[in-house]
Amino acid sequence: MKLHARLRTYLIGACAGLSFATLSVQAADPAPAANAATPAAIQAPVKLAQAGNHNAAPMWRDVRHGDTGITTIKGAETGVLIQSEGEAWRKFRNGPVTLVGGLLLVVISVAILLFHAWKGQLRMSTKPTGRKLVRFTPVERWLHNIVGGCFVLLAIGGLMEIFGKHVLVPFLGHTLFSLVLQVLKPVHNFLGLVFIVTLLAMIVMWAKDNVWNAIDAQWIRRAGGLLDRSHVPSGRFNFGEKTWFWFGVTILGLTVSGSGLLLDFPTFLELRSSLQLANLVHGISALVMILLALGHIYMGTIGVEGALDSMRNGEVDEVWAKDHHEVWYRQAIKDRRG
């Protein structure tokens, strides 16, 4: 019995000594201190361990700095957990872009309606003769209508993505609105490819007819006759149409198309900041293009008598041609007579 008691006392003393030795080693070898050369992803857990109170604030402060940490996934920015610049992009897109863009859409739309109520439709100088001239070929009308149709559908989808949560959600609710966007988003992506192809073809087709020339100066001086309702001579396309073609269709159209392709295939721009910039360029250029298109659509439908017929059936009355495109009219008559 005495032997058993002595053995038990010995074991208890050995365990106590081992525990004391372990605590002494831990006290002499504290957790490694973070330094400037240590990546943020390693510093953060160290700081958290040193704090000893499970406070995650130091770790998340370092993460929000955007420093690159360590990860087994290879690629651009894979070591960046949080990109703080994304918050600035979100605030700019949902702030100035949405606010200013929305106000301009309302102002331009109201201005067009007020102008139409004030001046009315620009009518032909005399009664139509019934003699027709071919204004656009079937191929030209086919291309124009495809580009225009795609543009309208793309514009509706884009405007819903920007303004939908402010305008439509109060009426449709979040569930129905999200279902609508789930349909429009892939349609927007795939329809954009059709828009790009037909847009390029249309630019090539009409570029030669939209070169500025001396007669356009008269159109500029008289503001196209919009204010005094006079008829200003021009070639196949007047200065206003040429400006819309080069700035609205070509420059803005190609900008929207290029930025849209980058967003459709984001692997070309691996950095999040590059994608955010492409998103802003796409949205702003599309908004400007829509604003300009409102005027083009107005003039081609109810703003000018007979204008819609030129794109609907490809023909215009001789009176219309002489009133709005006198130089082109005289050349067309000359070519018809041989």
Per-residue pLDDT at 25 exceeds 60: no
Q: What is the pLDDT of residue 34?
A: 47
Residues 135 and 268 in one domain: yes
Per-residue pLDDT at 212 exceeds 70: yes
- For residues 211-216, average pLDDT: 89
Residues 302 and 215 in one domain: yes
Task: Give pLDDT tens digits for 222-251.
Answer: 888 777 777 788 999 999 999 999 999 999
Residues 236 and 107 in one domain: yes
Q: Is residue 169 included in any domain, yes or no?
A: yes
Q: Is residue 57 included in any domain, yes or no?
A: yes
- State the total domains in the chain: 2
Confidence of residue 269 (pLDDT cuts 50, 70, 90): confident
**Mean of per-residue pLDDT scores for the chain:** 84
- For residues 50-75, average pLDDT: 69
Q: Is residue 22 included in any domain, yes or no?
A: yes
**Packing angle between helix 57-64 and helix 40-51, nearest 10 degrees?**
160
Domain range enclosing 273: 85-337
Residues 40 and 121 in one domain: no
Q: What is the pLDDT of residue 83?
A: 77
Per-residue pLDDT at 132 exceeds 80: yes
Please classify residue 313 by burial: count the beta carbons closer than 10 Å to its beta carbon, then call 0-12 exposed, 13-18 middle and 19+ buried. Answer: middle
Do residues 39 and 68 lie in contact, with contact meaning Cβ atoms separated by under 8 Å? yes
Residues 242 and 293 in one domain: yes
Residues 52 and 108 in one domain: no
Q: Is residue 53 included in any domain, yes or no?
A: yes
- For residues 139-164, average pLDDT: 95
Task: Give pLDDT tens digits for 32-44.
Answer: 444 544 554 455 5
Q: Is residue 73 included in any domain, yes or no?
A: no
Q: What is the pLDDT of residue 54?
A: 62
Q: Is residue 281 included in any domain, yes or no?
A: yes
**Cα 141 versus chain centre, distance:** 27
Q: Is residue 118 included in any domain, yes or no?
A: yes
Task: Give pLDDT tens digits for 272-310.
Answer: 888 999 999 999 999 999 999 999 999 999 999 999 999
- For residues 48-65, average pLDDT: 65
Residues 37 and 133 in one domain: no
Residues 50 and 112 in one domain: no
User: Cα separation of 27 and 240, whole Å?
Assistant: 82
Residues 26 and 94 in one domain: no
Residues 158 and 43 in one domain: no
Q: What is the pLDDT of residue 116?
A: 94
The alpha carbon dihedral of 225, 229, 235, 236 has a sign of: positive
Nearest residue to 242 via CA among 257, 225, 224: 224
Ranking 158-167, 227-236, 258-267 by mean pLDDT, the lowest is: 227-236
Q: Is residue 78 included in any domain, yes or no?
A: no
Please classify residue 154 by burial: count the beta carbons closer than 10 Å to its beta carbon, then call 0-12 exposed, 13-18 middle and 19+ buried. Answer: buried
CATH number at residue 179: 1.20.950.20
Most confident listed range (48-52, 223-227, 228-232, 325-329):
325-329
Task: Give pLDDT tens digits for 2-13.
Answer: 445 554 555 455
Q: What is the pLDDT of residue 43?
A: 53
Residues 236 and 109 in one domain: yes
Q: What is the pLDDT of residue 215?
A: 87
